[in-house]
Amino acid sequence: MKSAIAIVAHPDDIEFLFAGTLLQLGRVGYALHYLCLANGSCGSLTMDAKATAKVRRFEAKQAADILGATWHGPLCDDLEIVYSVDLIKRLAVIIRETRPEIVLTHSPDDYMTDHTETARLAVTAAFTHGMPNFGTEPPSQALKEHRLAVYHAMPHGLRDGLRRKVVPGAYVDTSDVMETKRQALEAHASQGTWLDATQGMGSHVDSMEEMAREVGAMSGIFEHAEGWRRHLHLGLSAEEFDPLREALRTRYQVNSDYESGL
């Protein structure tokens, strides 16, 4: 069975940014994998770090179940996602064991370092998938004759850390899976109060839907959508390998102006 893995920084990032794409991949037969590098330990004003991490672990498992994905445990605390050999080795094991064709991760430019470092780690861990001389922790065999593609999601707010608008290279139609995406995000109940108090977000679920509608409008064709930029193929696969496009077909719309720089 073909597989796809979502690699993000925190519990609820998958649901906010690209649960719709995961759901569409599940519909066409992909095995889905769900990984938040950090445990969400800083996501509360009322609980200590240990209690917060426990609650958010429970919520993430619930959300993964709603999405039909296999949950993988976190590797570190919040704000401890740093580009390091230790995390690369531990993440590379998961890449080798899940054998994904599709790796979904954060934008290389986003509003916080945990997100951008996760994107860097995901790319490097994917890059090592066929390198038998790169030792992992725990030890794991490199994948022979395996190819994969890495796709970067849109940043929160659809802008980079310097407030510049980010344009997708392609759009995935999520219109008919929005209710399930909403249910998965609602599973992260502890984050409603946190995001309102710290970021003035109000309803994080409504904010997610507003972003999906905005990306859909950018596509010019879909009511709700998630935007993607495919990482350069070098070291990962042949140039023409675009499994997300091949899998989703009519639910995948290329932005023809993106690669031409228009």
Cβ within 8 Å of residue 232, ≥6 positions away: none
Q: What angle do CA 35, 228, 220 make, to 5 degrees?
A: 140
Please report the pLDDT score of residue 262 as a whole number. Answer: 47
At residue 203, the pLDDT reads 72
Q: How far apart are CA 126 and CA 93, in angstroms?
A: 10
Question: Which residues in 226-257 are b (16+ Cβ under 10 Å) and which e?
Answer: bbbbbbebeebbeeeebbbbebbeebbbebee
Q: What is the pLDDT of residue 143?
A: 80
* Parts of the chain with a pLDDT under 50: 262
Task: List helix spans (H) across 68-189.
Answer: 85-98, 113-127, 178-186
Are the CB atoms for 172 and 251 separated by under 8 Å? yes
Joined together, the tokens standing for residue 229 give 């930029």
* Assigned token pair, 237: 């696969």
And the tokens for 58? 């429970």
Distance CA 114, CA 37 (A): 9
For 95, residues 6+ apart whose C-beta sits below 8 A from its C-beta are 5, 103, 125, 126, 128, 129, 148
Domains in the chain, please, with CATH? 3-254 (3.40.50.10320)
User: Residues 32, 3: contact at Cβ < 8 Å?
Assistant: yes
Provide the token pair at 105: 């991760």
**pLDDT for the residue numbered 194:** 61
For the entire predicted model, the pTM comes to 0.94
Please return the burial class of 54, using the count of CB atoms within 10 Å of its CB with bins 0-12, 13-18 and 19+: middle
- What is the maximum span of the chain, computed from C-alpha positions, in angstroms? 50
In this structure, what token pair is assigned to residue 211? 């972003």
CA 239 to the chain's CA centroid: 22
User: Residue 214 CB: number of other CB atoms within 10 A?
Assistant: 15
Contact criterion met (CB below 8 Å) for 228 and 21:
yes
